[in-house]
Structure 1
């Protein structure tokens, strides 16, 4: 049977609160440029925004927050910027993991993060393991993630199963595909936000966003905070979601 979008979890004073919010965190470089700072300063400020927004999401009762931290296309950036980003990932894990454990947050990573350096892979694996038993909200971080590659991997795995005779192609439906996605254990995506004024999905959660509400804001990511997230959730709560019906 094909999977159907799950209902929104709860109703707040301003309307419905999404169960699953995803954010394309864009604008770090422009934030730094406006202040005549190096790009790494924008990325550092972006880490502060991650802390603010993840805490705000927990306080609002959002079940899952997915952040686009490093795309499969980001490898095209200059080597020194990639190195800075990897360093900031290490800093964030070491400094914030205890808080995630304490707040009962379960960390999930989507994407092929094992392409990163071995020490960073170990840090990520340890962080996932330390939060695996947590039962509270999910923080999913997209690392070396690309939605087209994700879908190609799903198609490849299903084709291999069919060739072995383990799968009847006639039984392949949307539910089976969704069970093979990186986000298989996350709630259906309700709201996708992109900061910085860009109006595109940039290869992020293309399948999952099929019936998500999209919100594009001019705010640069380092300036995004709990109030901005609350505004986005309020806008979401005012929208009517029909999922193809009337």
Structure 2
């Protein structure tokens, strides 16, 4: 049966078409890398014409930058949503880590873009990822500060200590997420538990005022 006379066929909404193109771009960039990925391949995967991709986003660089920003925003939102502020400090950290590893496991192509592709192709891509990382580090710094106040109220950790610990924890999480995505059978919960055991057991003593010394 042909189309009803006088009734226009519905065009795909712009937001839906853009999402399809972005999904295709993330998959292609994540699996093939920025250099090897082609706009033709992205357009074909999205089911649109190459000129349409360029109409929405003017260049391959602009498309890649848009992918970085979208995946970074989604990861930050997932971590923040996971760490329920009403929980005890250790439970907040656990929930945040679980959310981080769950998101990176469910979105391996997006994580590949953030963790590997963007960082290896220089500016402006590296700067975009650095902005995301700074926000996550600031969030984790706040969690560590809350843990210090909750566990050892009389002697809070210095701001420099908390900042350094947050940098170390985020760096470890990034590396562990890459390893977990490439290692068969490693679940998000297992990855989060590994880092929690590594970090919190040491942090627990530190929060109580104990410190390691080389003497």
TM over 0.5: no
Larger Rg, first or second structure (1 or 2): 2
More strand by proportion, 1 or 2? 1
More helix by proportion, 1 or 2? 2
TM-score by length of 1: 0.26
